[in-house]
Structure 1
Amino acid sequence: MATYLIGDVHGCFDELQALLAQANFEPHQDQLWLTGDLVARGPDSLAVLRYVRSLGPAVRMVLGNHDLHLLAIYAGISRNKPKDNLTPLLEAPDSDELINWLRRQPILQVDHQRKLIMGHAGITPQWDIATAQQCAREVEAVLSSSCYPLFLDAMYGDMPNNWTPEMIGLARLRFSTNALTRMRYCFPNGQLDMICKDAPTDAPSMLKPWFELPRQVDPDYTVIFGHWASLEGNGTPEGIIALDTGCCWGGELTMLRWEDKQFFTQPASQRATLDGQNLLTDI
């Protein structure tokens, strides 16, 4: 059995299939980990969701900010914009089934046997593993409940941006969601900056990528994340691996086989590249 970890798919179904074929992925014996943002921006989010759902227990995934955005559109809270490329999914006959399956997926994965942690944006340096798991469980519980639209309506916003264990209610849920699905930079004290999206070479000097700050997570664990395509998989310290390499923007889809640390890449197809170029002009 092999464990394959793939960066943000973003609706790039053809590239996902080609990447899995490179490694002879066998869902009956292998396990597939996905860093979130399965949907949006790329050409075929519907096919991606149908395929991933069909894999059943062979998949371990987390939700990303674009997956949460889809849930908010479905709940009538956010607007479906052309650049999201989500209309075919929202209008599909099985859209209710797929989206309700999606909102019951985890927002954090921890495997103590493999010593692997996966969060879409990473793990804030203010959390240890136990705190991250607790905060993730709280978000997952409300997403899978009947009151999930109330949470989705309240999740948008950049504050609070500094963790305290005393935080409660919607403020705590919003911080946890931002830390797990939107985070890139922190101030030196660990406080989140939710504004800067630049590559590290272009970021203000007072900000540091979250993975450059001292972390409370056990160093024996490897943290896998996506979300940050401009890193192109580079620049992280030992024990932290970035897997989003911007396939939906014309880059590549990247996969790591955990057992032998072999990387596989699949260049974006012409279809994905053209869609990405068109969407870049719409941001």
Structure 2
Amino acid sequence: MANYFVGDIQGCFAELELVLAKVDFNPSRDVLWAAGDLIARGPDSLPTLRYFKQLDGSAKVVLGNHDLHLMAVVAKIKRVNPKDQLEALLNASDLGSLIGWLRLQPLVQELPEHNIVMSHAGVPPQWDIQTLRSQVQRVSNALTAQDYIPALIAKMYTIDANAWDPNVSELQQNIYCINALTRMRFLHLDGGLDFDCKLSPSECSDPKLTPWFNCDGLIKQTHTLVFGHWATVMGKVASENIYALDTGCCWGEHLTLWHMESDQIITQNKLKKS
């Protein structure tokens, strides 16, 4: 058995197939861990979702901001981003089933025997592992509730929740949890989330902003962290126990796969359009 962790696929299904072929991935034997944003900018969001859904127990998936945005689009809360290639997915006969499957996916997956935590964007430095687990479970409860659209999805973009406060309402805590785990990049000096700067850490000249993974964090002291989301980082994190797996395949770069057991990185370049 092998554990493979893959960064943001973003509908780049052909590249996913190729990188999995390089390692002879076998779903009857191996497990594929996906760091969120399965869909959106690439041409094959529909087969990507179908593939992970049929993998069942051989796949461990976390939700990314694009996956949550799809729920908002299907619920008529948001319009399709013109940059996304979602027409085939939105017109698919099994769209309802795919959305139902997505709602069951958490914001965090753990591999306890190896102390690995995977989320889409990272983990808030001020949280311990118990706080992370309890907050993630509460969001999962909200996503699987019958009223998830009016109670959570419809309010996901309307509540300003960029700072952690355990004393605010459950909804505000849920929105902060979603924002931190699916949208986080830089933090302000007070620990608040910055949603504006998408540059790489080396390109950002604002002394008041710090990459979340450079902050002293409780969880990173005891766990290996795996995340995607931040393509401009291009996998370059100066820490032995943090793996940044989004390497911008949908932007013309490459898809990254991490084989945990051998600590090996395998890549697949973006295919050129014919």
TMscore range, shorter length: over 0.9
Alignment CA distance shift 1:226-1:256 (3 Å) = same
CA distance in 2 between counterparts of 1:183 and 1:157 reads 17
- TM-score computed with the length of structure 2 as normaliser: 0.96
Matching residue of 1:18: 18
Write out aligned runs for 1:246-265 (5 A).
Answer: 246-265=248-267
Which moves more between the two structures, 142-151 or 225-234?
A: 142-151
CA distance in 1 between counterparts of 2:191 and 2:214 reads 10
Matching residue of 1:279: none
Structure 2 runs not aligned, ≥5 long? none
Does the 8 Å CA contact 2:258/2:265 hold for their aligned counterparts?
Answer: yes
RMSD: 1.3
CA distance in 1 between counterparts of 2:73 and 2:161 reads 24
Per-residue deviation, residues 143-172 of structure 1 (Å, max 9, x unmatched): 111111121111115722221222223211
* Aligned partner (choices 228, 231, 234) of residue 229 of structure 1: 231
Matching residue of 1:96: 96
Matching residue of 1:278: none
Shift of 1:210: 0.2
Does the 8 Å CA contact 1:158/1:178 hold for their aligned counterparts?
Answer: no
Shift of 1:193: 1.5
Shift of 1:126: 1.4
Shift of 1:270: 1.2
CA distance in 1 between counterparts of 2:189 and 2:240 reads 20
Matching residue of 2:172: 171
CA distance in 1 between counterparts of 2:176 and 2:26 reads 37
Matching residue of 2:136: 136
Matching residue of 2:162: 161
CA distance in 1 between counterparts of 2:196 and 2:164 reads 17
Shift of 1:81: 2.9
Shift of 1:218: 5.3
Does the 8 Å CA contact 2:63/2:106 hold for their aligned counterparts?
Answer: yes
Per-residue deviation, residues 39-81 of structure 1 (Å, max 9, x unmatched): 0000000000011111110001100000000010011100023
Does the 8 Å CA contact 1:187/1:208 hold for their aligned counterparts?
Answer: yes
Does the 8 Å CA contact 1:236/1:242 hold for their aligned counterparts?
Answer: no
**Matched letter for residue 269 of structure 1:** L
CA distance in 2 between counterparts of 1:236 and 1:144 reads 37
CA distance in 1 between counterparts of 2:192 and 2:80 reads 31
CA distance in 1 between counterparts of 2:100 and 2:238 reads 34
- TM-score computed with the length of structure 1 as normaliser: 0.93
Matching residue of 2:216: 214
Shift of 1:191: 1.9
Which moves more between the two structures, 190-199 or 28-37?
A: 190-199
Matching residue of 2:149: 149
- SS for the counterpart of 1:60 is strand
Matching residue of 1:195: 196
Matching residue of 1:108: 108
Does the 8 Å CA contact 2:36/2:67 hold for their aligned counterparts?
Answer: yes
Shift of 1:197: 1.2
- SS for the counterpart of 2:113 is coil
